[in-house]
Each structure stands twice: as structure tokens, then as C-alpha cells.
A = this chain, B = another copy of it.
């Protein structure tokens, strides 16, 4: 397997890797990808700025190849970097509907496309594992439970009536403070839980915890409570919600098939906070 993010991305570029990046080069940060026609880029930027917990914007770029704005370190330039090829797999949407899954999006790429990288919860899950608080979805090799809530995002441009999506990990009540404090440091990847407990589920309008809208159902034992975090599916659902209004193609990573960055979370946040 690849030993550096650059090598891994070259593997993707050649089409030799096209699946899930969970557990790949775990010390490096991974990011969700959204590529939009420029006409809605400003609205999407505003959506992220107004709703930073579910939509943590890491970086943007207009060109999409070697350079990313907002101080995000990316591959050493002599190795090259191409956002259109360097992820394992991409989804292509037209008018909000999934049209294709492809190994590169060279064909769909347009000069007016704008690239957004969004934080991913893999970062804080690593920290929870290191603290002996491994999320149950990981020990059970399941996908995390995700719920569409009745809480809406604060509207931004064409993004109106977009639901806030949360991920849920069950924890023992006595571990809540530790779980909160560990994930609170990950301010660029959803940060601390937004709410918890069965009363928290009520506040979020989650009617049935055993029926997540996305991912797998994870049972909550008698001595556990559900803990809810902002979830990166939120911006994807927002694009789906208003998709019929977007004329050009929208490109995203394929679920779980993220962009592997050249920085650790610590390096990234030092750069951003400087």
C-alpha cells in the first residue's frame, strides 16, 4: 500500500484504487469534495460560512488543480496534483440526480467549476480511538448512523429549507465529558457534539433512533445515550434539496472515497489558526 499521500493519489490517478479511504494513511487528514458551477459558488460559500458545524469548509479553489486557497497545504508542487483524478471515485449529479460514478471527472470538468473541500469526521474518530473511546460503528465495522433532523440550516441564497443532518455514536453517560472535550478540538471537522441524550433526539426531531436515514442502525445499550455530531452529509443533502435549480454538473467524491491530504489535522489547524 502507498506510504505517502502523494503516492496514494497517484494510485487513484492511474485508476488503480477506486474504493473506500477509511483507514488509509490514518495520520493524514481526509476531505469531502464538492465541485460546483460558479453561478452557485457564492451561495454555497455563504451556506458553509453560516453553518460551519455541519458544513466545515477547509479550502476552495477556482482552478482546482495545483493550488488550494485558504492556506490549505497540498501536495509538493513538483509532484503535481489534479482534483479531477486524485480521488478514488467521483459522483456526477445533474439537476440534483446521480447520473454516474466515475474514476476521474476530466470529462465533466468545466472551466467555470469551483472546488470546495469540506472537513470529515475521520479526523476526530482517530482521536477517540487513541483515547480508548472507539466509536461502536468502528468496532462493529458498520457505517455510522446518520439522521435527517427537523432542524434547518440557516438559509443562504438558493439554499433554503435544507435539513441539518447529524451522525450518532452511542456512549456511556460517564464518558460524555471526555468525548465532548476530545472532539471539541476538531473545530475544522464538526468539533464537539451538538446535542445528546434521548431528550437531545427529541430536540432534533429524530422520531426513531433505530431508523437512520443514512448509514447503519447501531443499537444503544441501556447504559448508553446517543451522542449527535454535525455531519458532512448535510451539504450533500443541501445540494440534493436545491439540485433542480442547478443547470451545470455537480461533482462530489463517492461516499467514503475521500481526498487524502498531505497534512495531519494538527498541521492543518496550525496553518488555519496562524
Q: Which A residues fall within an 8 A CB radius of B? A: 46, 49-50, 52-53, 150-152, 154-157, 160-161, 180, 184, 187, 191-195, 203, 230
**How far apart sit A52 and B46, CA to CA, in the bound complex (Å)?**
12
**How far is it, in angstroms, between the C-alpha of A241 and the C-alpha of B156 when the chains are bound?**
28
Q: Is the CB of B203 within 8 A of A50?
A: no
Closest to A42 in B: B184
Contact of A154 among B53, B152, B155, B160 (CB under 8 A): B53
**Least Cβ–Cβ distance between A48 and chain B, in angstroms:** 11
CB distance from A28 to the nearest CB of B (A): 25
A152, B154: Cα distance in complex, Å: 12
Q: Measured between C-beta atoms, what is the minimum distance from A147 to chain B in Å?
A: 15
Residues of chain B contacted by A52 (CB below 8 angstroms)? 49-50, 52
Q: For the complex, what is the distance from the CA of A192 to the CA of B156, rounded to whole Å?
A: 7
* Alpha-carbon separation in the docked complex, A184 to B184 (Å): 29
A153 to B134, CA, bound (A): 27
Q: Which B residues touch A184, using CB under 8 A?
A: 46, 156-157
Which residues does chain B contribute within 8 Å of A187, judged by CB atoms?
A: 46, 49
A192 to B195 alpha-carbon distance, docked (Å):
26
CA A192 to CA B153, docked complex, whole Å: 12
